[in-house]
Structure 1
Amino acid sequence: MVGTSLSKKSNIDRMDKQLVPRKVFYNPIYRDKVTVLKSASETGGLYSLGELEVSPGGGNSMHTHSAFEETFTAVKGELGVMLRGKLYSLRPGESITVPRNTPHHFLNRSGETIVCQIRFVPGHEDFVKGLAIGYGLATDGKTTKKGMPKSLTHLAMLMVLTDTQPSGMLRYIFPVFKWLAARAKRDGTQQSLLEKYYYLKSDRN
């Protein structure tokens, strides 16, 4: 049994060395593209930094995060951020910080693609993993028209990895989502989706 366990660990270690994270993710439902500029591992966990491009009419749904605060800084065009029931319009150079546990979402009401930077403090490596899974599922047609995974297990993984708690009635069954996500991690479902949507095979040479 010990030998088998060591063999499995060795295989996983070798696999991890052959995989590198993707840096760019696209969601056809939200009509946005995310590019990772600085990962939490690159900053020692101090922050994560990404660039977000949102097409006209794009945006996400209302949600909260409890593990980090989120700062939006407009780079190109006018970014809309809904926060505490108020819509803020950010022009290039302007920023707004969303405190932890505060409902918010971003949107593009203009007729042009907008660009902004998003900074998480502290950094949150798993957020990008969850984003990769969510965006990958959307690309493969495995989400609803609103971008929600059709599989309850996939939805649970997405919420837990990204530290996203939904608004509305779904927040009352969040403990169930945490249980489903933990099971998916144990049975290999999460790892399988990460290998498909988050990692790129590196050149072995």
Structure 2
Amino acid sequence: MTAVAGSQPRLTITNRCLGDRVTFLQRTDGQGSPTVIEIELLPSGGNAAHVHRSFDEHFTCLSGTLGLEVGGRKLYLKSGEQATARSGVPHRFFNPGTELVSFRVELRPGHAGFERGLIVAYGLANDGLTTQGGVPRNPLHLAVLCEIGEAGLPGPMGLLQPLLNLLAARARRLGVDRELIARYGA
């Protein structure tokens, strides 16, 4: 392991369900430093549209073609090209090609909850506790991930957000959030 952001070791996680690999290049110090991750995404891979309230995501394609949908507009980035998803704007990423795509994401400001949520989500997937698309089977787990990673549902799916908020509150009361963070070392 190599050190990043001071004394923190570099961490690479793999989602065996999706085949994605994420390397944390820099974890936030909680004082405004960015979170920086590098993602390797298989063909047809990607995530669902979502929004974040308190940080922007800056994407840089490293190799292949990175598909982004930001605010309803589709973009296709080649190596070296960049795009930003501002807080509050629905966005998602995907691999439209037949080759692996590699890209860097920088969250400004960094977000420790996002980092923990990603680690927990990949842990759940690796333990077989998600659908093949990576969505937790347990609604309490899903609610915890949305809350700690600050991921909201956009558009008509946003109507489910109050229910997710209630489930997240119940999960906190039951200690599900603490259990998941402890279980997956997040």
Shared fold, TM over 0.5: yes
Match of 1:138 among 122, 125, 137: 125
Report the TM-score, using the length of structure 2 for normalisation: 0.87
Counterpart check, 1:39 vs 2:27: yes
Which digits, 9 at most, give the CA deviation of each residue in 1:97-131, with x for residues without a partner?
01111111111121211111100011100101111
Which digits, 9 at most, give the CA deviation of each residue in 1:118-151, with x for residues without a partner?
0001110010111111111111121123221111
**Structure in which a larger fraction of residues adopt helix:** 1
> Structure 2 regions of 5+ residues with no counterpart?
1-7
Match of 2:145 among 158, 161, 168: 158
Counterpart check, 1:56 vs 2:43: yes
Whichever of the two has the greater Rg, that structure is 1
1:98 aligns to what? 85
Corresponding residue SS for 1:53: strand
Aligned residues: 179
CA shift in 2, pair 1:105/1:22, >3 Å:
same
1:23 aligns to what? 11
> Structure 1 regions of 5+ residues with no counterpart?
1-19, 200-205
Contact 2:129 2:136 (C-alpha < 8 Å) held by counterparts: yes
Contact 1:38 1:49 (C-alpha < 8 Å) held by counterparts: yes
Identical counterparts, % of pairs: 36
Corresponding residue SS for 1:185: helix
Shift of the alpha carbon at 1:40?
Answer: 1.0
Runs of 4+ in 1 over 4 A off after TM superposition: none
Q: What do you get for the CA RMSD once the two structures are aligned? A: 2.0
1:177 aligns to what? 164
